Structure 1
Amino acid sequence: MKTLILYSSHDGQTKKIAHFLAEQIGNSDVADLAQSAVKNLEEFDRIVIGASIRYGHFNKQLYQFIEKQTALLNSKNTAFFGVNLTARKEGKNTPETNVYVRKFLQRISWQPKLAAVFAGALLYPQYHWFDRMMIQFIMKLTNGETDSSKEIEYTDWDKVKEFAESIKMLN
């Protein structure tokens, strides 16, 4: 089984998760969703798409890709994973309880066979001033970390590994 893992990442955590999934699954290609046109999607048995939330929204390219490829995606074994900081909280870390992933899956015509949501990373020192201020404000509102000198990876790698095992079962 050959797997394609496409990702849309802003700060790199979704890309990191995509590569980790590829290592766990084996026989996988990983590509930025923006570069997916270079891939022949027909040659893959499974397609996994991962995307991150930025200021409450997935990248518009994600929606455009799915709209263009819905028929193909619905004809294959597919999976989706969302990455956001809200998922760091218990009760907001499943596709059913994470507002971003739940609304996304309701909005699109593609119906992935598997879905997951993972907490991302908070990388204050890497952010530009405006992003750092905005994310600090959002984190303050949600009782999160506001120390701008910190980098915190909230991703539960065991959960990502379990998702990889579930993907391997898609035949």
Structure 2
Amino acid sequence: MSKTLILFSSVHGHTYKICERLKQHLSELGERATLCSLDQAPDLAGFDKVLIGASIRHGKHNPAVLAYVNANKEALDSKVNGFFSVSLVARKPMKNTPETNPYMQAFLNQVSWQPRMLEVFGGRLNYGGYGVMDRNIIRFIMWITKGPTDPKVDIDFTDWDKVADLAERFHLADKLQGQAA
């Protein structure tokens, strides 16, 4: 039974919700999964696998995510590992893969760590959950990108089947890695 650590960096809580679902799936698959905020990350030595999820705010991942993965590159590389990004841009069909998502590509160019498994998920657009400034900035961006601008909108763009698929792939990653060796 693998000991899996799921770390998250979330602004409005949606990345955390995705991580909770991943933990549930991994636990059902027999993993001992621990969920923890990045700023309270435990020592990685106690885990076999590490999966990190981070949201986008104002076009960037939290700088603490970049600092964490750069500072822990060696420990991360010694384990089965993965990274996923959550953004509203990933709601678009041409930007919903690690290869086509500009935020994922920017992340990979800014860090020394190269995760073995990558994924991107559409986020949640909840205008009522944002402060006035964020709500107006996001509405403007949505207007430019032809997204929903109604201030009463609350839409979850996450493909939950894709979340379950990531959990399955991550669960099997150590077994597949062992076969390739």
User: Scaled by the length of structure 1, what TM-score is found?
Assistant: 0.97
Counterpart in the other structure of 2:21? 20
Cα distance between partner residues in 1 of 2:170 and 2:18: 14
**How many residue pairs align between the two structures?**
169
Aligned-pair CA distance for 1:53: 0.5
Cα distance between partner residues in 2 of 1:64 and 1:112: 15
Superposed CA RMSD in Å reads: 0.7
Q: Which runs of 4+ in 1 moved over 4 A?
A: none
Aligned-pair CA distance for 1:112: 1.1
Cα distance between partner residues in 2 of 1:76 and 1:112: 10
Aligned-partner SS, 2:61: coil
Deviations 1:31-71 (A, max 9, x none): 110111xx121110100000001011000110111111011
Aligned-partner SS, 2:152: coil
Aligned-pair CA distance for 1:20: 0.4
Indicate yes or no: 2:149 matched with 1:168: no
Aligned-pair CA distance for 1:153: 0.4
Q: Percent identical across equivalent pairs?
A: 44
Aligned-partner SS, 1:94: coil
Aligned-pair CA distance for 1:161: 0.5
- Unaligned 5+ segments in structure 2 are 175-181
Cα distance between partner residues in 2 of 1:71 and 1:77: 12
Counterpart in the other structure of 2:78? 75
User: Scaled by the length of structure 2, what TM-score is found?
Assistant: 0.92
Aligned-pair CA distance for 1:105: 1.4
- Unaligned 5+ segments in structure 1 are none
Matches within 5 A, 1:146-165: 146-165=149-168
